[in-house]
Amino acid sequence: MTASTSHLKRWARTTESVLQRTLTAIGLSQSTARIAADSQAYWTSSHGKRWMANSHWREAPIFDDNDLWIRMGMQHLGMVERSAWAARSGRPWRRVVDWGCGGGANAAAFAPHTGELVGVDISAETVAECGRQVALVCDTPFRGVTVDVAEPETAMVDIGSCDVFLCLYVFELIPTPEYGVRLLHIARDLLTPGGLALIQIKYDDGRWLSRPRRREYRRELAGMTTYRIPAFWQLVERCGLTPVSIELVPRNELDERYAYFVIRKR
Ligand SMILES: C[S@@+](CC[C@H](N)C(=O)[O-])C[C@H]1O[C@@H](n2cnc3c(N)ncnc32)[C@H](O)[C@@H]1O
C-alpha cells in the first residue's frame, strides 16, 4: 500500500467515525437490541484473519513472531496479584471467570493459579480454543460457557461464584455504556466477598472521536463503548463494588486509551 493510499484510508475512517458520532449526537443512535444483534452476528459468524485477530486467537498474524500473546496474560496476572497482595487476599483462587475469554491469553496465564477456570464468550469456537490453550499449559479444569449478547445474565447459573473475575478488551466492544452496568452487576453477583475483578475499558479522553459510537457495530468494533474515567469509577461504586486501582495505558501494541481497573467486592 502506498503512503497516499494509506493516508486516504485513514482519512475515510476518521470521516466515517465523525459522521456516526454526529448522527448519534443528533439523536439517531441505534437501539441497544439492534447493536446487540449485530454484535452477536459478528462474533459468531466470521472466521477470517481479522476476526481471529479481534478474538485474540494465538495463531492470528498479530501474534506471529512476538511474545505479545503471552505478555498480555502475564501482565494481567501481575495486576491482580499486586492488588491481592496489597489487600492481603492472596490465593488460593478457587475459581477464576474470564468474561469474553477470546483465544485464552488470560485464561492460560491464570489457570495454573486456580482450582477451576471458566471461560465465557459469545463464540462457541472461541470458547473451545480457549480451553485448548489452557490444556496446553496445565491440568486445571476448564469449563466453557457460551453467552448470548442480549442475555448475559442467563449465563450466570452455569458459572458459579468466583474469587477473580476478568474482563479484558471486551467493554470497548459491548453495545452501549449502559450494557456495561449489566456486566458490572454480573461481576458483583459472581464474586465472593473480598474477591477481585480486573476490568479494562477504553477511555473517553474528551475528544469527539473517543465518545461512545452507538451505531454501525461492524465498522468500528473497538470504538463502540467508552467511558470517562471518573464516570466509570463512580459507576463501579454505584454497582456496589470498590475500585482499588487504575492503570492507564495511552497506547500499546494493541490499541490506545486503555484503563485497567482492579475492583474489589466489599
Ligand atoms: C478482543 S477479544 C479479547 C479476548 C480476551 N479477553 C483477551 O484479553 O485476550 C474480545 C472477545 O470478546 C468476546 N465478546 C465480544 N462481546 C462480548 C460480550 N458482550 N460478552 C462476552 N464476550 C464478548 C468476543 O467474542 C471476543 O472473543
Residues of the domain holding 212: 3-265
Q: Give the mutation target among 32, 43, 254, 260 for probing the ligand 1 site: most ligand atoms within 8 A of CB.
A: 43
Q: What CATH number is attached to the domain comprising 169?
A: 3.40.50.150
Query: Residue 67: its pLDDT value, please?
Result: 97
Residues 84/90, Cβ–Cβ less than 8 Å:
yes
Ligand 1: distance of its center to the CA of 130 in Å?
11
CA–centroid distance, residue 252 to ligand 1 (Å): 18
Domain count, the chain: 1
Cβ(146)–Cβ(129) below 8 Å: no
Nearest alpha-carbon partner for 183 in 266, 119, 239: 239
CA-nearest residue for atom 8, ligand 1, is 168
How high is the pLDDT of residue 91? Answer: 67
Query: Among 102, 20, 23, which Cα is nearest to 59's?
Result: 102
Q: How far is the CA of 211 from the centre of ligand 1 (A)?
A: 20
Q: What residue ranges line ligand 1, CB within 6 angstroms?
A: 39, 43, 54-56, 72, 99-102, 105-106, 121-123, 126, 147, 149, 152, 168-170, 173-174
* Candidate from 40, 110, 122 with most ligand 1 atoms within 8 A of CB, to mutate: 122
Strands (E), 73-153: 93-99, 114-121, 142-146
Position in ligand 1 atom list of the atom nearest CA 167: 6
pLDDT (0 to 100) of residue 92? 86
C-alpha cell at 188: 458483583
Span from the CA of 93 to the centroid of ligand 1 (angstroms): 22
Give the pLDDT confidence score for residue 94 in this predicted structure: 96
Q: How far is the CA of 146 from the centre of ligand 1 (A)?
A: 11
For residue 234, give the C-alpha cell.
Answer: 463512580
Distance 3 CA to ligand 1 centre (A): 32
Question: Given this model, what pLDDT does residue 1 score?
Answer: 65
Amino acid at position 103, single letter: G
SS3 state of residue 222: helix
Contact 202, 250 (CB under 8 A): no
Q: Which atom of ligand 1 is nearest to the CA of 126?
A: 27
Give pLDDT tens digits along the chain (266 positions). Answer: 687 888 898 899 999 999 999 999 999 999 999 999 999 999 999 779 999 999 999 999 999 999 999 999 999 999 999 988 877 776 689 999 999 999 999 999 999 999 999 999 999 999 999 999 999 999 999 999 999 999 999 999 999 999 999 999 999 999 999 999 999 999 999 999 999 999 999 999 999 999 999 999 999 999 999 999 999 999 999 999 999 999 999 999 999 999 999 999 98
Q: Which residue has the cell 492472596?
A: 90
**HSE of 244 in the Cβ direction (CA atoms, 13 Å)?**
22
